[in-house]
Amino acid sequence: MPPIDFILFDLDNTLYPRRSGLFDHVDRRINRYLAEEVGLPPAAVDRVRRHYLETYGTTLSGLIRHHRVDPEHYLAYVHDVPIEELIPPDEELPRLLAALPGEKYIFSNASRDHCLRVLTHLGVADFFVGIYDIIRLRWQPKPLPAVYRQVLTGVGRPAARGLMVDDLPANLEPARALGLRTVLVRDGEGEKRDGCLGGEVVVDTIHRLPEALRRLPSPPRCGPASAGGG
């Protein structure tokens, strides 16, 4: 196993399975926010949301820019979902995290409150030494490269000694470009793997992370521009 001093974990759909449906609830809350709080005509919600996502990286960034929404109000509203009902208990997760090397951090586009609520529900909050959430990162979301540099500065350790785990390939590319190793948690979505772009190592559940660590190349095998490796 290559030396790992720290691990950056995505939260949603990474530490718990996508099939929980939690994200569908958040999705509906975002649409409701655009209609009821921002006052967009319901027929325009999808189009505006897609436009903000494509232009600014998140719906929130577009809402801040064009509608002056209070980001903390928005985050509390969209994350007001029944986490405890949706996310199944996971007795294995604490054991798994305890056995992994290095300091563990959360690196999420959600709010700190949402992260803590999920981590507490899963019984793993104490395993994490820090949370890099969208508020701490001043509303700059993954996969903007600047936020990865900010996180690395905060962690204070060389990228080559770190690992990032996420369910979205696009979120892993900037990490790999900076020299981190990466693991993609694909969660049975059947997403096509595309050389190194899909993550150096792909697993279908967080429970296979220990196994993934043993398969990690050392040093990192290829950057975002190469293909066919990993």
The label of the residue with tokens 């604490």 reads 94
Q: Does 187 bind Mg ion (CB under 5 A)?
A: no
Judged by DSSP in three states, 8 sits in: strand
Which position among 7, 8, 13, 147 is part of the footprint of Mg ion (CB under 5 A)?
Answer: 13
Decide whether 40 or 90 has the Cβ nearer to Mg ion. Answer: 90
Task: State the CB neighbour count (10 A cutoff) for residue 132.
Answer: 22
Confirm or reject binding of residue 10 to Mg ion (CB under 5 A).
Answer: yes
Does position 12 interact with Mg ion (CB under 5 A)? The reply is yes
Q: Is 182 a binder of Mg ion (CB under 5 A)?
A: no
Sort strands 128-132 and 103-107 into parallel, antiparallel or unpaired: parallel
Query: What span, in angstroms and rounded, lies between the C-alpha atoms of 19 and 64?
Result: 30
Minimum CB distance to Mg ion smaller for 13 or for 182: 13
Measured distance CA(208)–CA(177) in Å, rounded: 24
| Stretch in the footprint of Mg ion (CB under 5 A) among 98-106, 165-173, 184-192, 210-218 | 165-173
The window from 10-18, 145-153, 211-219, 222-230 that contacts Mg ion (CB under 5 A) reads 10-18
Using the minimum distance from each CB to Mg ion, give the nearer residue, 2 or 145.
145
Distance CA 180, CA 156 (A): 13
Neighbours of 123 (CB within 10 A): 14
Q: How far is the CB of 79 from Mg ion (least distance, A)?
A: 14
User: Least distance (Å) from Mg ion to the CB of residue 206?
Assistant: 11
Q: What's the CA gap between 41 and 196, in Å, rounded?
A: 42
- The DSSP code for 103 is E
DSSP 33-44: IIIIIS---GGG
Residues in contact with Mg ion, total (CB under 5 A)?
Answer: 5
| Residue 133 near Mg ion by CB under 5 A | no
Write down the least CB distance from residue 23 to Mg ion, Å. 8
Q: Which residues bind Mg ion (CB under 5 A)?
A: 10, 12-14, 167
